[in-house]
């Protein structure tokens, strides 16, 4: 029987079968980090879900609503790559509960802010917490993956997407009837997340050296030049832009669209938003394991471009079909991000934190810019125009054909035969 030190010392070969991997998948850690992601993104989604309440309390227009989203997401966008670069050089396991404490402060300020500038500060604090949480949590997920990187990222992602789906429901049931001050009760969720993340941080502090070496990826069998890597990153950036600009149209303005076009109530609109976000959670869980099996490029291709027929139909649908189409859009579109993230990590091996921070940050940034731009479009031309324009964004998925195949031909043949 191997000792623990022998197990950690064995080099990992990503193309080896599961029984030859040096360390098994740590599902307990993946579950803990996914649960923390659920709590983190549940708190964040409360901000989006209470937009109608904020517009009433502060008399905001849609442009100001876009500024709130911009403040939140740009804070995360600007800081996440920096956090990732720093922690690649000097990992900070206990930064995870510290980042959640920042989210806690933003949550309490959101419940008590007396004016719009402090509301923007609250959104920025929540974004700062995310900027710490996501790169380091993604690194933990990769360390705990046992070589099944797509699966690990999907498990991590599904927690966040489930939390994002849960937030609007909780807002409809708990916050809407009681007012903005009731947001403070969700500080208990942040405290629970800090407790769980403290335990994850202890595991991370013990295992980061051994597992980091054990799972280090060798040079790509198909050597890529710097120009090819830069070109592939640019293509991935376009795909993330397409995905998150479209998601911004749903997360920030879907409730306004439903109320304007179909005249439904706020709680009913929040339920529709939660159904969409639940579909996103399911799609995120599927994308990573499928990418492990058939190749990430094919998942990216099918996810981004494959959603185009549904986005093109959405502006012309009635209420029932709007609900059906948005669920299908969420299922298909969400499967891309885990595949994109792991693909990017394999493009630049050894820079998990930087790559994770860059892509999470860019995704948040695109969501923030998208929310602001689409808010201005809605003010100037009407909310329906937003969905008519965004319907064409998934067609950008055609650029996926430019991505190189990172797997050697022998592995592609083996997957095709499986």
Percent of the chain with pLDDT over 70: 88
| Nearest C-alpha neighbor of 83 from the set 98, 68, 67 | 98
Would you state the pLDDT for residue 1? 41
Q: Which pLDDT tens digit goes with each residue over 352-390? A: 778 877 787 777 677 778 888 888 899 899 999 999 999
CA proximity to 308, closest of 286, 325, 290: 325
Give the count of beta carbons closer than 10 Å to the beta carbon of residue 193. Answer: 28
Domain extents in the chain: 25-417
Query: How far from 382 is each of 116, 258, 345, 385, CA to CA, in Å?
Result: 24, 13, 40, 6
- Placement of tokens 């319907």 in the chain: 391
Query: Per-residue pLDDT for 262 more than 70?
Result: yes
Confidence of residue 100 (pLDDT cuts 50, 70, 90): very high
C-beta of residue 288 within 8 angstroms of C-beta of residue 342: yes
* pLDDT value, residue 43: 87
Of 204-218, 290-304, 319-333, the least confident: 204-218
pLDDT digits over 23-58, tens only?
Answer: 578 889 999 999 999 999 888 878 777 887 888 888
The CATH code of domain 25-417 reads 1.20.1250.20
pLDDT tens per residue across span 133-178: 888 888 898 888 887 888 888 888 888 877 877 887 788 788 878 8
DSSP H or E segment with residue 350: none
Give the separation between CA 183 and CA 69, rounded to whole angstroms: 17
Distance from C-alpha of 49 to C-alpha of 183, rounded to nearest angstrom: 11
- Long-range pairs for 358-362 at CB < 8 Å and ≥24 separation? 358/80, 358/81, 358/84, 359/236, 359/240, 360/76, 360/80, 360/130, 360/134, 360/135, 360/138, 361/76, 361/77, 361/78, 361/79, 361/80, 361/81, 361/131, 362/77, 362/237, 362/240
Q: According to the model, what pLDDT value does residue 416 have? A: 43
Here the contacts of 221-225 (C-beta below 8 Å, separation 24 or greater) are 221/407, 221/408, 222/404, 222/405, 222/406, 222/408, 224/347, 224/404
Please name which of 57, 276, 255, 82 lies closest in space to residue 162, comparing C-alpha atoms.
276
Q: Residues 310-337: what's their mean pLDDT?
A: 92
* pLDDT tops 70 at residue 11: no
Token pair, residue 206, equals 């013990």
| Spatial distance between the Cα atoms of 177 and 171, rounded to a whole number of angstroms | 9
Q: What is the pLDDT of residue 282?
A: 84
How many angstroms from the chain centroid is the CA of residue 232? 20
Q: Which helix (H) or strand (E) holds 149?
A: helix 149-170
Q: How many residues belong to the chain?
A: 418
Q: Which has the closest alpha carbon to 29: 135, 141, 146, 163?
A: 141
Higher local confidence (pLDDT), 73 or 244: 244
d(CA 86, CA 106): 24
Give burial (CB, 10 Å; 0-12/13-18/19+) of 115.
Answer: exposed
Cβ(348)–Cβ(88) under 8 Å? no
Contact at 8 Å (CB) between 289 and 151? yes
Q: Greater confidence, 205 or 208? A: 205
pLDDT at 384: 92
Structure confidence at residue 407 (pLDDT): 63
pLDDT digits (tens, 9 = 90+) for 63-88: 788 788 778 877 877 788 888 888 88
pLDDT digits (tens, 9 = 90+) for 112-127: 988 999 999 998 998 8
Choose the weakest-confidence range: 285-294, 308-317, 383-392.
Answer: 285-294
* H or E element, residue 399: none
Range with the poorest average pLDDT among 104-118, 211-225, 237-251, 391-405: 211-225
Residue 267 contacts residue 176 (beta carbons within 8 Å): yes
Model confidence pLDDT, tens digit, residues 138-149: 889 888 888 788
Q: What is the DSSP string of 40-78?
A: HHHHHHHHHHTHHHHHHHHT--HHHHHHHHHHHHHHHHH
Give mean pLDDT, residues 298-306: 87
- Band (pLDDT 50/70/90 cuts) for residue 210 is low
């Amino acid at each position: 029987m191997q000792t623990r030190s022998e197990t950690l010392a064995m080099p990992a070969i990503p193309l080896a079968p599961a029984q030859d991997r040096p360390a098994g998948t740590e599902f307990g850690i993946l579950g803990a980090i996914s649960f923390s992601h659920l709590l983190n993104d549940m708190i964040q989604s409360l901000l989006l879900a209470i937009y109608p309440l904020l517009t009433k309390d502060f008399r905001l227009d849609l442009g100001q609503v876009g500024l709130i989203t911009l403040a939140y997401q740009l804070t995360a966008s600007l800081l996440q790559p920096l956090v990732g670069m720093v922690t690649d050089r000097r990992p900070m396991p206990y930064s995870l509960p510290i980042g959640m404490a920042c989210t806690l402060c933003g949550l309490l300020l959101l419940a008590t802010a007396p004016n719009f500038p402090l509301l923007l500060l609250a959104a920025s604090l929540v974004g700062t917490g995310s900027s710490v949480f996501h790169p380091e949590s993604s690194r933990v997920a990769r360390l705990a993956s046992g070589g099944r990187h797509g699966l690990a990222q999907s498990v991590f992602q599904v927690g966040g997407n489930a939390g994002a789906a849960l937030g609007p429901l909780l807002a409809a049931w708990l916050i809407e009837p009681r007012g903005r001050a009731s947001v403070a009760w969700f500080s208990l969720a942040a405290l629970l997340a800090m407790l769980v993340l403290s335990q994850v941080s202890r595991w991370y502090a013990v295992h980061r050296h051994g597992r980091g070496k054990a799972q280090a990826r060798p040079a790509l069998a198909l050597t890529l030049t710097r120009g090819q890597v830069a070109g592939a990153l640019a293509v991935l950036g376009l795909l993330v832009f397409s995905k998150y600009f479209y998601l911004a149209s749903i997360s920030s303005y879907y409730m306004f669209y439903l109320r304007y076009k179909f005249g439904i109530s706020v709680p009913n609109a929040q339920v529709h938003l939660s159904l969409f976000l639940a579909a996103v959670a399911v799609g995120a869980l599927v994308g990573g394991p499928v990418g492990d099996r058939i190749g990430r490029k094919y998942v990216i291709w099918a996810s981004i471009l494959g959603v185009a027929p549904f986005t093109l139909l959405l502006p012309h649908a009635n209420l029932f079909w709007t609900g059906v189409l948005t669920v299908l859009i969420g299922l298909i579109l969400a499967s891309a991000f885990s595949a994109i993230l792991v693909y990017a990590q394999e493009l630049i091996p050894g820079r998990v934190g930087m790559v994770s921070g860059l892509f999470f940050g860019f995704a948040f940034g695109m969501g923030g810019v998208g929310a602001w731009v689409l808010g201005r479009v809605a003010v100037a031309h009407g909310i329906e125009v937003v969905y008519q324009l965004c319907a064409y964004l998934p067609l950008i998925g055609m650029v996926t054909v430019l991505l190189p195949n990172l797997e050697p031909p022998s592995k592609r043949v083996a997957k095709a035969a499986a």
